[in-house]
Amino acid sequence: MKKIRGRLFLVLFLSVISFYLFLPSWPSLYDRVPESVRWLIPPRGVSLGLDLQGGIHLVLEVEEERAVEIAVDRAAKAMQDLLTDKDIAFDKIERVSNLQVQLDLSKDGTVEETAELVRDEFPSYFQVSLDGRTLVVELLGSEVDRIKNAAINQALETIRNRIDQFGVTEPLLQRQGRKELVIQLPGVKDPERAKSLIQDTALLEFKMLDEDNQPGLGLPLQVQRSEESTIREKFADKVPEGSEILFESVPDPKGGVPVFSRPYLVRQGAVLTGDVLQDARVNYTEFSEVYVGVTFDSKGAKEFGRITSANVGKFMAIVLDGTVYSAPRINEPILGGRAQITGNFTTDEANDLAIVLRAGALPAPMKTIQDLTVGPSLGQDSIEKGLKTTLIAGVIVLIFMVFYYRMSGMIADAALVLNLLCLLGALSGLNATLTLPGIAGIILTIGMGVDSNILIFERIREELRQGRPVRLAVDAGYDKAFLTIVDSHVTTLITGLALFLFGTGPIKGFAVTLCLGIAINLFTALIGTKVVFDLINRRKLERLSI
Taken in order 89, 95, 96, 99, is the CA torsion positive or negative? positive
Q: Is 381 in the site for other proteins (CB under 8 A)?
A: yes
Q: Is 173 in the site for other proteins (CB under 8 A)?
A: yes
Helix-strand-coil split of the chain, %, nearest 5: 55, 20, 25
The answer to whether residues 431 and 24 touch, using CB atoms and an 8 Å cutoff, is no
Q: Is 259 in the site for other proteins (CB under 8 A)?
A: no
What are the contacts of 109-117 at 24+ separation with CB within 8 A?
111/135, 113/88, 114/83, 114/88, 117/82, 117/83, 117/86, 117/88
| DSSP category for residue 315 | B
Q: Is 487 in the site for other proteins (CB under 8 A)?
A: yes
Of the residues 133, 146, 175, 232, which one makes contact with other proteins according to CB under 8 A: 175
Q: Please provide residue 61's backbone torsions phi and psi, each rounded to the nearest 5 degrees.
A: -115, 135
In this structure, the strands spanning 172-176 and 180-186 are antiparallel
Considering only residues 16 to 75 of the shown chain, the ones binding other proteins according to CB under 8 A are 54, 57
Q: Helical H runs in 167-213?
A: 191-199
The H or E element spanning position 163 is: helix 141-166
CB 326, min distance to other proteins, A:
36
Considering only residues 506 to 525 of the shown chain, the ones binding other proteins according to CB under 8 A are 506-507, 510, 514
Which of 531, 416, 353, 374 lies closest to 53, judged by CA? 374
Of the residues 394, 410, 468, 475, which one makes contact with other proteins according to CB under 8 A: 394
* Span from 110-118, 239-247, 303-311, 445-453 in contact with other proteins (CB under 8 A): 445-453
* Span from 5-13, 215-223, 307-315, 490-498 in contact with other proteins (CB under 8 A): 490-498
Q: 324 vs 536, which CB is nearer to other proteins?
A: 536
Q: Is 536 in the site for other proteins (CB under 8 A)?
A: no
Q: 274 vs 376, which CB is nearer to other proteins?
A: 376
Q: Is 263 in the site for other proteins (CB under 8 A)?
A: no
Q: Is 379 in the site for other proteins (CB under 8 A)?
A: yes
Pattern 397-416, binding to other proteins, x per CB under 8 A? x--xx-xxxx----------
Of the residues 106, 382, 430, 538, which one makes contact with other proteins according to CB under 8 A: 382
The answer to whether residues 531 and 459 touch, using CB atoms and an 8 Å cutoff, is no
CB 540, min distance to other proteins, A:
20
CB 383, min distance to other proteins, A:
8
Q: 393 vs 430, which CB is nearer to other proteins?
A: 393
Taken in order 525, 531, 534, 535, is the CA torsion positive or negative? negative
Q: HSE-up of 424 (CA within 13 Å, CB side)?
A: 18
Of the residues 348, 447, 472, 538, which one makes contact with other proteins according to CB under 8 A: 447
Q: 14 vs 455, which CB is nearer to other proteins?
A: 455
Q: Is 150 in the site for other proteins (CB under 8 A)?
A: no
Of the residues 297, 462, 469, 471, which one makes contact with other proteins according to CB under 8 A: 462
CA 275/CA 502 separation, integer angstroms: 27
CA 174/CA 298 separation, integer angstroms: 34
Q: Is 475 in the site for other proteins (CB under 8 A)?
A: no
Q: Is 294 in the site for other proteins (CB under 8 A)?
A: no
